[in-house]
Amino acid sequence: MTVVDLDDLFAEEVIADPYGYFARLRERSPVHWNERFGLWIVSGHAEVVWLLRHHELFSSAVIRTTSGPPYPPVDPEDLPLFDEIRSFRADQLVEQDRPEHLRMRGLVHQYFTPQAIEGWRPFVRAAVADLLDDIQPRGSMDVMTDLAAALPVQIIGEMMGVPREDRGHLREMADQILYINRGEPYRLRPLVEGVRGILEYAEPLARERAERPGDDLISLLAQGERAGVFTHNQVLVNTGLLLFAGHETTMNLICNGLLAFMRHPEQWRRLRLDPAEAARLATEECLRFDPPVKSTQRVATQDVELGGRLIRAGDRIRWIIAAANRDPAVFPDPDRFDIGRQPNPHLSFGAGIHYCLGVALARLEGQEVFRALAERFEAFELTGARLKYQPSVQFRSLESLPVTWSA
């Protein structure tokens, strides 16, 4: 296989097999200047960890500090919509630096602590069982739409205290926001619809909960406005963030993980021996082996040396989870899918101050899904043609995952 343009991050081969491409890159230069896109690619585990722990050198305010048209290109008449998307993203927690970041995160973190989230396990288990009770008699499913995209909104919807009858609407908006990661030239339109939808939907809820707070997430954000930590717009925008930050990511964990099991049937049998016990480490290995988020970005705040290269103030940087998670300096036999792997210091949730806020919830959902699938199904088989991935550098998202099973 030849990759014609070594720096073409969107080449078909790179989207289909990021691991081969980024492993070659990491071996040659773990900190690499990508000429074509004008950004640094950081692919070594040690280099990524160092970068993430030095938030004062590498800013998360990527949207506000960079310009340039959307890529892949969009329909020219839709370009004005791009600004709307940018301002939606710029106010999110994940785009803030200190000191704002700490104040915002300090408001919501206690909702997501490992112990607090553990209390949701029975709810998540029941939600998974409900979905599978529906699916099982059918004999086939698209794991993506029937299971993976259906679960996360149910859980976060409950946490937000959104009425049950609105969950369908919530799912629609979350699905529209998935276009943030698509390649279609018309993608800004459904995306903007989803963004406007969630802002409009959250508005009355935020007002109501500012007056009469409950123990839900929207109340927590609304109280933040009262305390002067959030602007009103930030309450709405971060409600949106909480809705979709766990949507595509958890979807990918479920689909990529199940695909890894289908390609490694001996590991599936191993999980089935004791699903309740094995699901915890297995979920970590799914996260490492085919991570839901392949990479995200930073901007250098000053000149800084990393991996022997001089990064200049203002330079953009992509750190590659999909490369760091396969670094042989940290993971013995890194290309092996081994559900008993321990320790497993993968970077699928990032590191440093922006380390995934929803990590405990993501783990819980992954564990409960893999456990329930292993308890109920002997084996899955792929149906349909070749699997395709969304043309995204950021997410590792299958378009669909159609499977059948024998009862």
Q: Please list, in sequence order, all residues whose beta carbon lies within 8 angstroms of the beta carbon of residue 401, skipping any fewer than 6 positions away.
A: 142, 143, 144, 148, 255, 258, 259, 382, 387
Residue whose CB is less far from ligand HEM, 250 or 392: 250
Give the one entry of ligand HEM, another protein, none that residue 348 binds, where binding means its C-beta sits below a cut-off of 5 to 8 angstroms depending on kind.
ligand HEM
Residue 76 CB, shortest distance to ligand HEM, in Å, is 30
Residue whose CB is less far from another protein, 105 or 341: 105
Q: Is 18 in the site for ligand HEM (CB under 6 A)?
A: no
User: Beta strand 316-320 with 39-42: parallel, antiparallel or unpaired?
Assistant: parallel
In the three-class reduction of DSSP (H, G, I as helix; E, B as strand; rest coil), residue 9 is classed as: coil
Residue 45 CB, shortest distance to another protein, in Å, is 13
How does DSSP assign 210-221, residue by residue?
A: HHS--SSHHHHH
> Which has the closest alpha carbon to 111: 151, 171, 164, 160?
160
- Contact range with ligand HEM by CB under 6 A, out of 36-44, 185-193, 240-248, 337-345: 240-248
Residue whose CB is less far from another protein, 141 or 356: 356
Residue 56 CB, shortest distance to another protein, in Å, is 10
Q: Which residue has the tokens 């993608």?
A: 187
> Which has the closest alpha carbon to 148: 248, 243, 251, 246?
251
User: Helices 247-263 & 275-289, crossing angle to 10 degrees?
Assistant: 100
Residue whose CB is less far from another protein, 110 or 383: 110
User: Beta strand 58-59 with 31-34: parallel, antiparallel or unpaired?
Assistant: unpaired
Q: CA 82, CA 87: separation in Å to the nearest integer?
A: 9
Q: Which of 15, 94, 398, 401 binds ligand HEM (CB under 6 A)?
A: 94
Q: Is 138 in the site for another protein (CB under 8 A)?
A: no
- Contact positions with another protein (CB under 8 A) in 348-367: 349-353, 355-357, 359-360
Q: Please list, in sequence order, all residues whose beta carbon lies within 8 angstroms of the beta carbon of residue 273, skipping any fewer than 6 positions away.
A: none
Q: Which of 289, 349, 389, 395 binds ligand HEM (CB under 6 A)?
A: 349
Residue whose CB is less far from ligand HEM, 198 or 362: 362
Q: Are the CB atoms for 167 and 56 separated by under 8 Å?
A: no
Q: Is 54 in the site for another protein (CB under 8 A)?
A: yes
Q: CA 283, CA 292: separation in Å to the nearest integer?
A: 12
Site string for ligand HEM, 127-166 (x = CB under 6 A): -----------------------------x----------
Residue 362 CB, shortest distance to ligand HEM, in Å, is 3
Q: Which of 41, 150, 178, 362 binds ligand HEM (CB under 6 A)?
A: 362
Q: Which of 23, 143, 253, 369 binds ligand HEM (CB under 6 A)?
A: 253
Q: Is 318 in the site for ligand HEM (CB under 6 A)?
A: no
Exposure letters 157-187 (e unless 16+ CB within 10 A, then b): bbbbebeeeebebbbebbbbbbbbbbeeeeb
> What φ, ψ does residue 357 adopt, rounded to 5°?
-65, -35
Q: Is 115 in the site for another protein (CB under 8 A)?
A: yes
User: Beta strand 380-382 with 402-405: parallel, antiparallel or unpaired?
Assistant: antiparallel
Q: CA 237, CA 90: separation in Å to the nearest integer?
A: 9
Q: Is 345 in the site for another protein (CB under 8 A)?
A: yes
Q: Which of 25, 93, 141, 143 binds ligand HEM (CB under 6 A)?
A: 93
Give the residues lining the site for ligand HEM (CB under 6 A).
60, 93-94, 105, 156, 241-242, 245-246, 249-250, 253, 292-293, 296, 348-350, 354, 356-358, 361-362
Give the residues lining the site for another protein (CB under 8 A).
52-54, 102, 105-106, 109-110, 112-115, 118, 343, 345, 349-353, 355-357, 359-360
